[in-house]
Chains A and B, each alone.
Chain A
């Protein structure tokens, strides 16, 4: 694969494992074992079986007729919102719990922003009977309250992150601190393609099922494996990387990644990392990062908790730098309007994260007959409160 990780954990200049010595043994254990574990036939069989019978995969590729009319192209929705627990996050959580068990771990920690990754992790821990602790920013606990209750009902302990911006970045810091203090028996299920190597590659592999299925489904539906466009929203970038993965080497397929502009890229309240970020180191990897001239991480803003993160995964930073994918951004208002439009044209209420990707359709110029796949990364149940307040329903 041309855009994959090298043996040192880098994508061009991005990636690596910038971690304190306390985390080294954990990360090194993962690095030396992850490929042999996930390529093992036994692992694959269990992973595939759970994705099929428990998650409900393959997720449908839905030809959105009214969207297609509106945008003058064949718009396909890759329905990750129909997965068990309501988003793509479960693909990675299943993969990592099976890996953690093979590493003999007894306890799972995770960070979460929108709560979707926390719910997915709590779910797989319940499934396997393993202790689960989820760190979540205090602000996110408020704006994604239903997911906090879901995690508790699933038996997880939810710990508020009260430092810094009290959102996803700080939840990640707290999870890393927990891991430092529990170096032997605990596995950290990171929820996106971020963190020290091998996480970005490992999570991308677990999420790559999205594009793997899409290719087959497109062939069935259109007679062609390759679409003209593939689109997805980017927080840390896991649904986008899963959606792009098997198209990366097909250079004719245009990849569009949609970041959260918040109140506008220039407003000071934004999470559009490729526009506002510079190269730096966050959460163990060298990547693009929103920061001050002095190298302090800038607190991002987006109405969408899942996109409210000051960095992106190192592979995205690389795809951006070498121009393999196009990075664009969508404001809060544009996203919420797109969420409403999708609800009323297609009867699908999307997560606000996903609504960012949908909003980008308004700005695209397609040719008739173009096939366009957009990743519907999650459903909007968790966001009803935000939608209701915004539209005064």
Chain B
């Protein structure tokens, strides 16, 4: 059993050494695999980041109740009281146009530009938090329909609605990512398989002679399977490398943004397990590609 593994290791190292014999094809294949895997990886991280973001919103299905701009202060106070005392509302907070502007200034970073505005264009609003009992989409829309009838209220924005829409967009990206992954997997199998075919053709004579002296198909096949797996593995390493570069470039602007949203990090950080799965996926893809290619082309080589 030990001898068996030693043999496999030897073939693996021989394979590594042999890559030097066709470096351009090998490196090209590895880079193509790396870049191809990058795209679904980015989509995956985007979806995960979005999910992470909506999760942090979900705890508080707030509603923003915008008041009519020309509303007098006492009328506004009346509405505020009405909402505050409403049985289905647990919390209400008045946001004056000035506060709204401050907040917008902070989020947008448009310091100077806003100073040039003569008049504050933002209306006063009341942010309300429904009681826990009413925190489902159904109850929330009922509540909104009820409140929107109150005189002086201009518009009610249900944050959950927005979350739902956002989630459905995420769902679409997710489906696109899955479809893309499947298509890319096929493309990678074809590309890797083609490179393996090239290697087989380059070694036609070696294969022929090996078969002549009694090398089994399994023996002849083995190094090519290692090639495929190695391509997949190294390709995934290229993906990780590219992701690391992207992360370091985006780190600073993103962490500033994250502070604004009071999030520790906006971008989903894949776990070690997920990276491991990527490596495993890519390696097995390479192996499968090699197997298919070998099944197709090794049989064609018959000793003369």
Query: A and B bound?
Result: no
- Interface set of A (CB-CB < 8 Å, partner B): none
